[in-house]
Amino acid sequence: MTTLAAYAIYFGAALAEIAGCFAFWAWLRNGQSPLWLVPGLVSLAAFAWLLTLAPSDHAGRAYAGS
């Protein structure tokens, strides 16, 4: 896997994690509709799936540094 592909995977995983967490936060703290949980669950599932595509020798370092 090329470095550019790995960066794309990490970028997509980060966006999916932020979107998923925001959806849960909006539902829990801002009193939004429970329908916000549906895209939140999809985003968090995409986050987990994208991390399985990342090269395992670099996966731990990507989130340990942040």
Whole-angstrom distance, CA of residue 11 vs CA of residue 17: 10
Whole-angstrom distance, CA of residue 56 vs CA of residue 30: 37
62 or 10, greater pLDDT:
10
pLDDT for 47 beyond 90 = yes
Question: In this predicted structure, what is the pLDDT of residue 27?
Answer: 92
Tens digit of each residue's pLDDT (9 = 90 or more) over 7-24: 899 899 999 999 999 999
